[in-house]
Amino acid sequence: MRILQILPELNVGGVETGTIDLAKYLLEHGHYPVVVSRGGELVKWLDTAGIKHYALPVHEKSIFTIIKCVAALKKIIDEENIDIVHARSRVPAWIAYFATRQTNAEFLTTCHGHYSQNFFSRVMGWAKLLIVPSNVIGRHMVEHFGVVPDRIRAIPRSVDLNRFVFTEYQKKESQRFIISMVGRMTPLKGHEYFLRAVAKVVRSMPLVKVWIVGDAPANKVHYRQELELLVERLGLKQHVEFFGNRQDIPRLLAKSHLLVFPSTVPESFGRVIIEAQAVGVPVVATQVGGVIDIIKHEETGLLVDPKDVEQMTQAILRVINEPTLVKNMIQAGRKRVEECYTLDQMAGQTIKVYEELMASKRILVIKLSALGDVILATAAFKALRKEFPQAKIYCLVGKECRRVLYRCPYLDGVIIADPKNQERSFWGILRFSKKLREYQFEKVIDLQNNWRSHLFAFLSFPKMSFGYKNKKGGFLLSHPVANPEQDLNPVDQQFQILSSAGLSNDHEKILELWPSPADQRKVRELLDGQWLREEMQLVGINIAASEKWVTKNWPVEHIARVCDLLAAKNIRVLITGTGKDKLLVEELLKRTKSKPVILVGKTNVMELAVLIKKCRVFITPDSAPMHIAAAMKTPFIAFFGPTNSIRHLPPAESYVVLEQKPLCSPCYSPQCKILTHACMKEIKPEEVVKRVYQLMEK
């Protein structure tokens, strides 16, 4: 893998050291690391290791600088053929986020801090996967930034045991008791409280020496001056030495008798704690943030409340005066470091996250309605699963059609929208789109192709979105597909979109449905209630297309005639439909001499699929049951007239199309404009029965 890490600078610090350690590990294990920062003292460590570093002003919060850096980083990603951009701070994360959206690289963040709750910090939660160094930071990202927990990977920081070598405690200098504090010189690190505790300690232990390692940032130079004045006021000038930034932390810790970590705010981790434990130094720390994940009180260190000078004083004195406690804490601390915090463990877990990120493509297919169209999309689901076996594939489907996809083996999840109610308005679409963005989809494939679906595709913020370039918002798609120049069947129409999304065109184009055992039992009970045995020959007739499309309906008198002709041959007819078709049923019963089995409104869609499967032949106008018959491999006879069979006929194994084509056909009108309904009336019952016998013989 080709991994680019981006952070503000490469001066002394835990984040910086971890970046370099990981880059070296990646190089040693056959990967290609690249680092981007403003530069700093540690760049020479990368140069020595042969790791490429690019200097960009990625530390500046200026919007104009960020825009320039986005373009520059995109160029680096393309030239270096980067797979993953790993951002370790907020400004670099903004730059990386927009650069990766224009490339094939994946975006990953590590949340090193307890970020304030503002929009600027939210970018750290926009990655598909987030690395956090402690459980505390993980909870913070979930509770305050709305990050879905299953996107978080907890990987504690590490220590390179080749650099931080264990030193026997009794071999340290005995004339002075050296207490070290390592960290940036800011008020949040608790220097003031540490110095006040030291002032109390030296009254009973005058041989104490304090090393303060780290310096103030350029904008907080005054803080160091304040600390130097505090040292003088407390009478500690002979005891305290300010070292500034140092690169020989392992050597300084090896000479220390104690590390104090007095932070006053929640820390993401506390890398220097495990560094001290690695070299055999006991630790006194405040119980804040990720520190409580590292130290178990009185076992691997001593914990005190933040800003509590008296507690800190007593803890330091315990380390000075209780050698048995110190010995036990050193042994337990070193053991825990070896078990949990080695470079091999951190880097190995990070590489696993990289591999997971590369494998976990997230794809959204939008197919909100109607029922038959959702069934038509099942061929696309199978093709996507075959093409992207490791991807997470979801379908955004309307509430009324959701049942069709609950058992689909090619989907990892179904996202349900309610476009007729909650997601009907523009504001409802905006609210729902926030939910879609949480999934972090790389690709959105819009098989619905209307204004609402194109808006959902756009507002889910994918890298790429595909659909037809129509006048219903097609401009919102990143990769719009030109409308086909000739009429295609509905599945081929969908596969044109899939082809633009990178799928090959040799996939099997068949429909599927997946009824449950409960659906099977319900239909068996339904048929038993009608005294219909398994060995009986059944033919199903769908009485109507839909309440809206009256023109698609075959005349009721023709249906009645078919029922009587089939009954004369000892073939039982099942009449299916919805609860809205009851008036048609009443008219049918008035016209037929036989007694067809009326199952109108008695099944849901999956039970209807089981029922159609039990039919030798199914007769239907252009409607969802036609697609169900195709999916269940039941031979069917389909009536067309108001619509074009080429554009709407599903792929199937055995079927007959009966299509009359008067001059007005296809009209695509719900009501017959010339009031004759000739296209449907001209399909004669005798022709239908003849075709039934032919299909049954096959």
Domains of the chain, with CATH numbers? 2-154 (3.40.50.2000), 169-339 (3.40.50.2000), 361-500 (3.40.50.2000), 517-697 (3.40.50.2000)
For residue 215, pLDDT beyond 90: no
Helix (H, G, I), strand (E, B) or coil at 11: coil
- Alpha-carbon distance 357 to 151, whole Å? 10
For 397-417, how does the pLDDT look when each residue is reduced to its tens digit (9 = 90+)?
998 888 899 999 999 999 998
pLDDT value for 564: 94
Coil/strand/helix, residue 343: helix
Q: How far apart are CA 76 and CA 556, in angstroms?
A: 69
- Could you give the CA distance from residue 181 to residue 285 in angstroms, rounded to a whole number? 10
Average pLDDT for 244-251 = 85
Band (pLDDT 50/70/90 cuts) for residue 425 is confident
Length of the chain: 698
pLDDT band at 185 (very low <50, low <70, confident <90, very high): confident
Residues 33-52 have a mean pLDDT of: 90
> Please, what is the average pLDDT of the chain?
89
Are the C-beta atoms of 402 and 433 separated by less than 8 Å?
Answer: no
Give the range among 210-224, 331-345, 531-545, 677-691 with minimum mean pLDDT.
210-224
pLDDT(96) > 90:
yes
How big is the CA angle at 489 (ends 487 and 495), to the nearest 5 degrees? 105
Q: What is the mean pLDDT of residues 549-560?
A: 91
Mapping DSSP onto H, E and C, the string for 222-237 reads HHHHHHHHHHHHCCCC
How confident is the model at residue 57, as a pLDDT?
Answer: 94
User: Across residues 44-68, what is the average pLDDT?
Assistant: 91
Instruction: Compute the distance between CA of residue 146 and CA of residue 432 in angstroms, rounded to an integer.
Output: 15
Please tell me which residue, 175 or 454, carries the higher pLDDT value: 454
How confident is the model over 311-319, as a mean pLDDT? 92
Q: What is the pLDDT of residue 205?
A: 82
- Residues 148-156: what's their mean pLDDT? 87
pLDDT by residue (tens digit) across 522-550? 999 999 888 888 788 999 999 998 878 88
Q: Are 315 and 283 in contact (CB under 8 A)?
A: no
- pLDDT at position 377 is 94
Q: Please, how many CA atoms are within 13 Å of residue 377, restricted to the half-sphere of its CB?
A: 27
Q: Look at residue 413 in the predicted model and tell me its pLDDT.
A: 92
Residue 489, pLDDT > 90, answer no
Model confidence at 631, in pLDDT bands (50, 70, 90)?
Answer: very high
Degrees (nearest 5) of the Cα angle 387, 388, 390? 145
How remote is the C-alpha of 154 from its chain's centroid?
Answer: 16
> Average pLDDT in the 658-665 region?
80
Average pLDDT of span 595-605: 92
Range from 131-135, 326-330, 364-368 carrying the lowest mean pLDDT: 131-135
Higher pLDDT, 395 or 217: 395
Q: Can the peptide bond before residue 250 be classed as cis, meaning omega within 30 degrees of 0?
A: no
Percent of the chain at pLDDT exceeding 90: 47
What does the alpha-carbon distance between residue 305 and residue 286 come to, in Å, rounded to a whole number? Answer: 5
Q: Is the pLDDT of residue 455 over 80?
A: yes
Which pLDDT score, from 0 to 100, does residue 644 have? Answer: 87
**Which pLDDT does position 445 carry in this prediction?**
95
Find all residues with CB under 8 Å of 122, minimum gap 6, and list them: 145
pLDDT at 650: 92
The pLDDT of 411-427, averaged and rounded, is 84
* pLDDT at site 163: 84
* Mean pLDDT calculated for residue range 69-75: 94
Please list, in sequence order, all residues whose beta carbon lies within 8 angstroms of the beta carbon of residue 349, skipping any fewer than 6 positions away: 153, 155
Distance CA(502)–CA(137), nearest Å, equals 38
- Sort 567 into a burial class: Cβ within 10 Å, 0-12 / 13-18 / 19+: middle
Phi/psi for 110 (5° steps) reads -115, 125
Relative to beta strand 443-446, strand 413-417 is: unpaired
The answer on pLDDT for 639 being more than 80 is yes
pLDDT of residue 660: 81
Choose among 348, 361, 315: nearest CA to 83: 361
pLDDT at res. 506: 80
Tokens representing 401 are: 């059609």
Rounded alpha-carbon distances, angstroms, from residue 337 to 101, 154, 476, 631: 38, 16, 52, 58
Would you state the pLDDT for residue 470? Answer: 86
Asked if the model's pLDDT at residue 638 lies above 90, the reply is yes
The mean pLDDT of 337-354, rounded to a whole number, is: 88
Q: Which run of H or of E encompasses 454?
A: helix 451-459
**Cα 551 to Cα 676: distance, rounded to the nearest angstrom:** 10
Give phi and psi for 574, each to the nearest 5: -105, 130
In terms of DSSP H, where are the helices of 256-303?
271-279, 291-294
Task: Check residue 383 and give its pLDDT.
Answer: 93
Please, which residues have CB within 8 angstroms of residue 679's CB and are 6 or more apart in sequence?
Answer: 551, 641, 642, 660, 661, 662, 664, 665
14 is written with which tokens? 């835990």
Cα-based distances in Å from 660 to 514, 634, 642: 34, 23, 9
Rounded distance between C-alpha atoms, residue 149 and residue 463, angstroms? 22
Res 533: pLDDT: 83
- Quote the strand ranges of 38-105, DSSP E: 52-55, 84-87
| pLDDT tier for residue 658 given thresholds of 50, 70 and 90 | very high
160 within 8 A of 184, measured Cβ to Cβ:
no
Q: What pLDDT is recorded for position 156?
A: 86
CA atoms within 13 A on the CB side of 647: 11
Q: What is the pLDDT of residue 364?
A: 95
Least confident range from 91-95, 213-217, 648-652: namely 213-217
Residue 135's pLDDT band, with cuts at 50, 70 and 90, is confident
Nearest 5 degrees, angle CA 31-CA 33-CA 34?
Answer: 160
| CB 132, CB 138: distance < 8 Å | yes
Write the burial class of residue 635 (CB in 10 Å: 0-12 exposed, 13-18 middle, 19+ buried): buried
pLDDT on residue 6: 94
Confidence of residue 429 (pLDDT cuts 50, 70, 90): confident
Closest CA to 643 of 685, 674, 679: 679
103-112, 113-122, 233-242, 301-310: segment of lowest average pLDDT: 113-122
Average pLDDT over residues 586-602: 92
Task: Specify the range with the lowest mean pLDDT, choosing from 135-149, 419-433, 624-638.
Answer: 419-433
If pLDDT is split at 50, 70 and 90, which confidence band does 265 have?
confident
Of residues 292, 452, 293, 479, the one with CA closest to residue 369: 452
362-366: strand order across its sheet: 413-417, 392-398, 362-366, 443-446, 464-468, 479-481
pLDDT of 666 reads: 82
pLDDT confidence of residue 206: 84
Q: How far is CA 245 from the centre of its chain?
A: 40
Task: Give the residue with greater pLDDT, 168 vs 282.
Answer: 282
